[in-house]
Amino acid sequence: MDKLLAKEIYYEMFLGRAFEYAAKEYYMQGNISGFLHLDIGQEALSVASMKAFAKGDVFSTYREHVMAIARGIEPKYVMAELFAKADGVSGGKGGSMHLFDPSHFFYGGDAIVGGHIPNAVGCAYARAYQGSEEGVMVVFGDGATNGGAFFESLNIAATQKLPLLFLCENNEYAIGTHITRTAPFREQAKKAEPFMLTMSCDGMDAQAVYKSVSKAKDLIEKGHGPVFLEAFTCRFEGHSMSDANAYRSSLEMKHCKNKDPLPHFKKRLQEKWLCSEEEITALEQKAQSVIEEAVEFAKNANEPEDKALYEHIFVEA
């Protein structure tokens, strides 16, 4: 990773966090309704995985605002979607959990836990059939690995040797349920071991994520077959805005926040890539103003027209 990329990753992590805090604020003010799952704490994983998988198709979970932005979708279109406006990335009809933009090869956002994994298998099958050089990445939580669709997907991806990267964000929780109550082990990669090569990395370290995703991408695209990469991470907020996070002790949260990816990566920017304090402050200020503009854009954007209710339901024959 060179200095330019390192600065870009820090900028996007900062941008992502500023976006999430703004989303939280406007949710509390009533501008955003429905479910809202914040990615605060997990930005290293969301940003660095998208940078390493810049080309190729991506399917993700409902905790996807930061991934969508790191994918290249402008924050103002993501914020407008949260505000349910017509200028939103999904026309205001998807909301927080259904950010969708084929022009950025980003296919959600899915409210059904694990429901998007078979879709990614189908996409990887299509890409292999078409002779595409690019692989497919599917991002999901530790909780999703308990579903039948996950195991069926592992099976078919391995049997067909598909160019598919399974990226598991292991934050040890499925809503308020700790992983030790739903799985016999903490490492969910063990579930994939009989089917494919498995790898793991520190999901709080953007450099480690970038390196592991790049390596896995290379493998799947060189005909190795699917790869399962598990990244250990930590979410700092409740599961969604309707979760007060009361099931985690202050000691557990302190331990979690000690691993905060932003200050750690900032320190590395200064020590390894010799970034000055001024350079870093300029990045942070730019990110902050982009988010302020995104909020203004979302506030002033148009509501969808009534006829939008009947659009995007059937494919035009």
Ligand X SMILES: Cc1ncc(C[n+]2csc(CCOP(=O)(O)OP(=O)(O)O)c2C)c(N)n1
Q: Which of residues 57-96 bind ligand X (CB under 6 A)?
A: 61, 63
Q: Which of 112, 244, 282, 309 binds ligand X (CB under 6 A)?
A: 112
Give the Å distances, CA to CA, from 167 to 142, 151, 178, 211: 10, 14, 20, 13
Residue 181 CB, nearest approach to ligand X (Å): 12
233 in contact with Mg ion (CB under 5 A): no
CA–CA distance, 96 with 25 (Å, rounded to integer): 14
Decide which of Mg ion, ligand X, none touches 73; Cβ closer than 5 to 8 Å per partner kind. none
Write down the residue that tokens 């991506």 correspond to.
Answer: 58
Residue 142 CB, nearest approach to ligand X (Å): 4
139 in contact with ligand X (CB under 6 A): no
Q: Which two tokens stand for residue 246?
A: 């009361």
> What residues contact residue 151 under an 8 Å CB cut-off, 6+ apart?
191
CA–CA distance, 248 with 241 (Å, rounded to integer): 16
Q: Name the maximum alpha-carbon separation found in the chain.
A: 58
Q: Which of 42, 46, 96, 171 binds Mg ion (CB under 5 A)?
A: 171
Residue nearest to Mg ion (CB): 141
Nearer Cβ to ligand X (49/171): 171
Classify residue 174 by its DSSP letter.
E
39 in contact with Mg ion (CB under 5 A): no
Nearer Cβ to ligand X (58/269): 58
Q: Which of residues 105-144 bind Mg ion (CB under 5 A)?
A: 141-143
Site size for ligand X, by CB under 6 A? 15
CA–CA distance, 238 with 259 (Å, rounded to integer): 17
Residue 315 CB, nearest approach to ligand X (Å): 25
Residue 110 CB, nearest approach to ligand X (Å): 9
Q: Which pairing describes strands 136-141 and 164-170: parallel, antiparallel, or unpaired?
A: parallel
Residue 140 CB, nearest approach to ligand X (Å): 6
Q: Which of residues 142-161 bind Mg ion (CB under 5 A)?
A: 142-143
Residue 226 CB, nearest approach to ligand X (Å): 19
50 in contact with ligand X (CB under 6 A): no
Q: Catalog residues that contact Mg ion under the rule CB under 5 A.
A: 141-143, 171, 173
